[in-house]
Amino acid sequence: MSASTPAVDEPAIEGATRRVPRAGWRVVAAKEFGDHVVSVRFLVVLVVLGLAAVIPLYFAADRIRDAAAQASGAPAVFLALFTIGPEDIAILRVDAFIAVVAPLLGLAFAFDAVNGERSEGTLPRLLAQPIYRDDVINGKFVAGLGVIGLVLVAVVVFIAGFGMLRLGITPHGQEVVRIVAWVLATFLYVALWLAFGLLLSVVVRRAATSALIGFGVWLVFTIFGQLITTLVSGIFAPAANASNEEILGSVQLQEWVTRLLPATLYREISAVILQPNLTQISTPATIGQLQQAQQQIPGLLTLDQSMLLVWPQVVALVALTVVCFAAAYLVFMRQEVRA
């Protein structure tokens, strides 16, 4: 059934026909959003992401306080709330911890979006309403995006409030803009996993199976992805007597392999946005460029300059999100949902 025809055709009743709403996806999105917000799932995810913010701040509070006292009045001090953690455990930083936990937010609100309706027998009843068929999947996706935005904003506001009240750090204008940009980048990263979870809910008939597949893929890509890419890169490692050019080429190849993981793309975007002093994330192509990078005078970049560094990563995340959602959309539009 195509998007240009209603989900069901009914004969005219006393000369009148049922009108199909132009924005039926808004009705579906509002209903789904309301169900998500009052669900136990929402509270659990909010607590998990809250812990992802509280635990790093708790362990890094002394370091952040010392850094703020030593650099009082310096730019980008407030951003240290998101990038400073214990010296011996790198993952206990807000940005690193959220990079690991945030995908669960997308999967949690999408793995049973369609197959849950099918298993409960409510999907045919939903499509019997005077809305277009694609309004169902569009509305569910928009509702998931709304919940994601709500949770992320709540967590970031909590972190900012902790920094201002507990540590006495106040943000500058550029820091606020960078935090907003980081929230948008995190929103995009989680939207990718939301689209992937929606695809699983359309393709896989059972919600439990789609949840296992989704969390398994998250585990492989997020937790063990770096180990896998390291093993693959080791196969192409240069010999002991390799030249500087060969070593540089091997490092570039390793970077390219690691960037096949969405988590790597997000980490690079997050690092550049939250660290204005970071002027390069890729290995230079030649020895001359490497020497120039080493001789570069340290300085702080503006946000637009930082975004130029990670614009390819942003485009890659957008493309992956569009591909996942388009695949879910096409499969859903061609499925026989009344069986």
pLDDT of 213: 93
**pLDDT tens per residue across all 339 residues of the chain:** 444 445 544 444 443 444 555 677 888 888 899 988 888 888 888 888 877 777 777 776 666 666 655 554 455 677 877 887 666 666 677 888 888 888 888 998 998 888 888 888 788 888 777 888 888 899 999 999 999 999 889 888 888 887 777 767 777 788 889 999 999 999 999 999 999 999 999 999 888 899 899 999 998 888 777 777 777 666 666 666 666 666 666 666 677 777 778 888 898 899 899 888 887 776 555 555 555 555 555 567 888 888 888 998 999 999 999 999 999 999 998 887 665
Phi, psi of 323 (to 5 degrees): -65, -45
Residue bearing tokens 């939903």: 126
The secondary structure of 111-133 as a DSSP string is TTTTHHHHHHT-HHHHHTSSSBT
Which two structure tokens, joined as six digits, stand for 123?
């999907």
pLDDT of 258: 76
Q: What is the dihedral of CA 289, 295, 296, 297, to 10 degrees?
A: 180
pLDDT of 196: 95
Which contacts (CB < 8 Å, 24+ apart) does range 31-39 have? 31/139, 31/143, 32/113, 32/139, 32/140, 32/143, 32/144, 33/143, 33/146, 33/147, 36/109, 36/143, 36/144, 36/147, 37/147, 37/150
Backbone conformation region of residue 275, classed left if phi is above 0, alpha if psi is from -120 to 50, else beta: beta
Say what the pTM is. Answer: 0.82
pLDDT of 284: 53
